[in-house]
Every structure is written in C-alpha cells, then in structure tokens.
Structure 1
Amino acid sequence: MAVDFQTFVAIFVILQNFLGGSALSCALDYEDADICKTYRLQGYQLAVLAILTIYSSHLIQSGSKLFMTALENRKKIHQQIDQLLPDQLSLLAEFLDFLQFKRAKPSASTAHPTARQPGLHPNAFVVSDDFDAPLPDSFWLGKE
C-alpha cells in the first residue's frame, strides 16, 4: 500500500479532526521525538499504517464513507505489515508504542513545574560599570 504524502496528510488531518485532538494531535510532532524524526526519514507509509491500525476501532464507529474505505483496506494494511522486514517491523512497533503512550508520560518540564529561583548561576553574567552610560557617537555612526 504505497501512500503518497498528500494522502498521508489527508488521513492524518481527518483522523485528528475525528479524534478531537487526542494523542494523535502530537503523534507526528517531528521536532518533539527522535522516533518521529526517524519515521520522517524512513517513510511516512509506516506511520499511516500505524495510525490506521491503532485507530481502526474508532474508524468502525464513525460510519463515514471515507472511514469505511479505510476499513475496507484494513486487510491490505495488515498484509502490508506482514510483508515488512524485521527491521521495519521493529520500527513500526516502536512507533505504535510512541503513539499510544506519548500522552501518558508527562514530560519533565510539565510533570512538576517549579518556581524560578534567583541565584542558581552566580557570576554567570556580569554587567559592566558603564552599562547605563550613553553610547558614543562613533558607535552610532558605524565607526567603531
């Protein structure tokens, strides 16, 4: 099942709208997770297979013609998964885990936010004595 990029984006947007921004909303945040960067480089077809496999139960409940078309392709999707090489299967498994559990694990920055504390890095930056002094004319004329 070769999927072009436009079809991939269409499936992603439709599923995201259908699921109302659940875990799928950040599933392909390429800048957020190395595993997504890997999939971006290795092909988005596996990502489409992963998304359709994970959310097939949601697709069944929708009844929409487009989603029913996706369900008709479910056997083809599973056949495609069966034909993957072992390396591709392990990547797909990692990606499925990522999609299912990304929201379940809060990031370190959001898990326990703490108040900012002054003095954590003393002498990390020093203000010169003439910091507030006006800059000379030579600076403004571009001669410095």
Structure 2
Amino acid sequence: MTVTLNLTAEQEKRLDLVAKARGLEKQAILHEMIDQALAQETVVEPEPRERIAGLFAGKMHMAEDFDAPLPDSFWLGEE
C-alpha cells in the first residue's frame, strides 16, 4: 500500500533529525512510529447480531404501480 503524507516543514525537519540520530532512513522511522501507534490501539470487532424476521413489518408500502412500465420520458431524461 502506498500512503502519501503531507508534513509541515517543522515535522519534516524533526523527522530528518530523528532519522539521523538513529542512523535510520525516514521511512524506517515512520514504519516504527506507525507500528507503535497501532500496537496501542484496541480493536474490538462487533459480534454479529441475529437477524429478526418481521422486525420492521408494516413500516413501508409498495406503490400500486410498482411493476408498471416506465414511460419513455423517464428513460430519455425528460422528467
């Protein structure tokens, strides 16, 4: 995956300093920072919920002309 970061001049300057101090490339520093940030996150996937049949019964209705053919004006963009 490719990600583009728009760093401020100050952020880029600090990234250069940290990379030089550690003797690493900027990309390696960013990978390390991302790994640390992701390790701190707790991701809980929601449990699938059981579907309940008829839960919203009667909440909508189908128009009487639902199956009627659409007029040519609809298909030609004249409506």
Q: TM-score, normalised by structure 1?
A: 0.29
If each structure's helix is expressed as a fraction of its own residues, which one has the higher value?
A: 1
Greater RCO, 1 or 2 (C-alpha within 8 Å, sep 6+): 1
Larger radius of gyration: 2
